[in-house]
Amino acid sequence: MTETELHYEIHGDGPPLVLIEGAGLDLRMWDDQVDPLARSYRVIRYDVRGFGRTTYTRDPFQHHEDLYDLLRHLGVDRAHLVGLSLGARIALDLCLEHPEVCRCLVVSGPGVSGFKWTPDRRMLPMIEAIGANDLIAAADRWLEHPYMAPAMELPHVRERLRTLARENSHIYRKLPNAEIELEPPAIDRLSEISVPTLLLVGTRDVADIQTIADLLTSQIADLTRIDFEGAGHVLNMEQPERFTREVLDFLSERCT
């Protein structure tokens, strides 16, 4: 594995809590959560490798090991993990490979390593823009996909999300995929997760995410599931106040 310099921020004092971003975004996606969470927790948010101010490398790496190394660098023995989409996949992988560092787990619109994604023709406009090396257009086409469309309907989210997607459009450059997936993958090991887990899902999220959510619900023993009616994939931006409240309530009730 290769080292990289992860860009991170720390806010507040208290038990450590890590915010892990979704793909195509960066740590700014958590702006609505930082201040409320930092009143009770030491909030650590960072740019995942390849996003925001953390660079991508062509050499082999694993996202969950990047996070593990960051926690060691910061002297954090155990932390609450809050991840959305790719961030949820990273959190699940970390809890499986290094369960000693995972205190409680919150996963929203989760990905999971080893899942076989359904072929999706709705990705074609984005793929065509990437082929034409028009990365801004690729980001815009991504924002039209059903993953992101519910959030883009909301005036208080639309411009923020467009800015994040466009400023991270460099991820669409044709680079070798150097990430090494967890082996065996999380999808075959979900029953090993024993920490209290909160699962948040938008009812308008795409079918694959609903399938993953059902898998987690059936296989993680200590799991609380909350469905956000009418919401899509980017729950923390679409319904920020409720998202933050559900996280705080869960942590105070189950993870003291």
Q: For residue 174, what pLDDT is reported?
A: 66
Taking the whole predicted model, whether its pTM rises above 0.95 is answered as yes
DSSP element (H, E) containing 199: strand 197-202
Q: For residue 176, what pLDDT is reported?
A: 66
Look at the block and give the residue holding tokens 């989409």: 85
The tokens describing 220, both together, are 């993680």
The pairing of beta strand 16-20 with beta strand 79-84: parallel
- Burial of residue 68 (CB within 10 Å: 0-12, 13-18, 19+) is middle
Q: For residue 172, what pLDDT is reported?
A: 87
The CA-atom distances, in angstroms, between 112 and each of 101, 215, 216, 229 are 19, 10, 9, 22
Q: For residue 1, what pLDDT is reported?
A: 44
The CA-atom distances, in angstroms, between 9 and each of 26, 47, 53, 253, 254 are 12, 9, 11, 26, 26
Backbone dihedral angles phi then psi of residue 18, each to the nearest 5 degrees: -110, 130
The tokens describing 65, both together, are 């090991």
User: What is the homologous superfamily of the domain 8-122+176-254 according to CATH?
Assistant: Alpha/Beta hydrolase fold, catalytic domain (3.40.50.1820)
Sign of CA dihedral 60, 98, 21, 154: positive
Q: For residue 32, what pLDDT is reported?
A: 98
| Domain residue extents for the chain | 8-122+176-254
Q: For residue 73, what pLDDT is reported?
A: 96
Cα–Cα dist 135/153, whole Å: 22
- The predicted-structure confidence for 189-217, as pLDDT tens digits, reads as follows 999 999 999 999 999 999 999 999 999 99
Contacts of 2 (CB under 8 A, 6+ apart): 57, 59, 60, 61
Neighbours of 3 (CB within 10 A): 10
Residues of the chain with pLDDT under 70: 1-4, 174-176
